[in-house]
Amino acid sequence: MTVPARTTVCDVTTPVARSLGQVSLYEGFEVRFGLPAERGDWVLCSEFTGEPQRFDAWRKALAEWLREQHGEAPERTTAGYVMSWYLNVVGVLGGLLFHTARRVPSLRPADVAIKVAAGGRPHVVGVALLNDEFACLPDDPEADHPAATVVADETALAALLRARFAAHSAQFVGAFGPTVRLGRRMLWAAATDALDSAAWTAGQVCGDETAGVMDSALLLPAKLDPFTSASTLKATDTGWTRRRESCCFHFVLPNADACATCPRVC
């Protein structure tokens, strides 16, 4: 199926746009509302899920980079990297707004776009939200806005983010899964990692890591289908850490070690 390309002209004065305008992630990573007039390297998530061959092209670019850097590009590694990159950026979009504004945006594939670096390492360098609808709490200052849907409390808001992320992840699993040799459980484990890390990452970059951890516990208070575990975040002598559910297969590369949080190590 071919998904028509579109440039979304969005009202940057809407509540969710203002919320996004107040947050940032990492240097060189763009978080924005709406797409630029010239789309450039921005791709709608619905274009990925509607045309799975786009994942093949992404993995091919990654394989070329891995061969330059490591001499090899195992199929499992390109699949693991792309799986993690895609799900993490969708998750962190929701996690940022939940943590910083107690707002949950639309996460439908047609309402999210990502930008992949065009040269060198083809990792995700931007995420855009394309829909101004949002859910919020009764005390949100803009709860009466036409784009707002009010839910009862934080537990309900977390459940809504979890459901919206699960719905997006299901479309990703359905499109990406047949293109790789990764089992369904591995794909949902990666989605679990992405959701568990989303609010934690937001807390780290916004200066209150512990609050981010508490938000992660709201999002994954128990093992809730289709996710593979409750939040695995835990405190150690050196700070917060978590046990990953999925594997990016970095360790398959020549002379590479497993990640510190890899389930193969923990």
CATH no. for residue 220?
Answer: 1.10.510
Work out the burial of residue 173: count CB atoms within 10 Å of its CB; fewer than 13 is exposed, 13-18 middle, 19 or more buried: buried
Indicate if the pLDDT at residue 259 is higher than 80.
Answer: no
Domain contains 260: no
Domain contains 1: no
Indicate if the pLDDT at residue 153 is higher than 50.
Answer: yes
Instruction: Please answer whether residues 233 and 204 qualify as being in contact, where contact means their C-beta atoms are separated by less than 8 angstroms.
Output: no
Cα of 16 vs its chain's centroid, Å: 17
Task: Report how many helices (DSSP H) and strands (DSSP E) the chain contains, helices first.
Answer: 7, 9
Domain contains 2: no
Indicate if the pLDDT at residue 23 is higher than 50.
Answer: yes
Indicate if the pLDDT at residue 237 is higher than 90.
Answer: no
Q: What is the reported pTM?
A: 0.91
pLDDT at position 2 is 31
Domain contains 99: yes
Which tens digits make up the pLDDT trace of 76-103?
A: 889 999 999 999 999 999 999 999 999 9
Paired tokens of 225: 């289908």
Domain contains 68: yes
Instruction: Please answer whether residues 99 and 214 qualify as being in contact, where contact means their C-beta atoms are separated by less than 8 angstroms.
Output: no
Indicate if the pLDDT at residue 255 is higher than 90.
Answer: no
Domain contains 217: yes
Domain contains 63: yes
Domain contains 29: yes
Mention every residue, 6+ apart, whose C-beta is less than 8 A from residue 207: none
Indicate if the pLDDT at residue 232 is higher than 60.
Answer: yes
Range of the domain at 160: 15-252
Indicate if the pLDDT at residue 171 is higher than 80.
Answer: yes
Residue 94's SS3 state is: helix
Paired tokens of 237: 């002598």
Structurally, how many domains does the chain consist of?
1
Phi-psi region of 120 (alpha: psi -120 to 50; beta: other; left: phi over 0): left
Which tens digits make up the pLDDT trace of 103-149?
A: 999 999 999 999 999 889 999 999 999 999 999 999 999 999 999 99
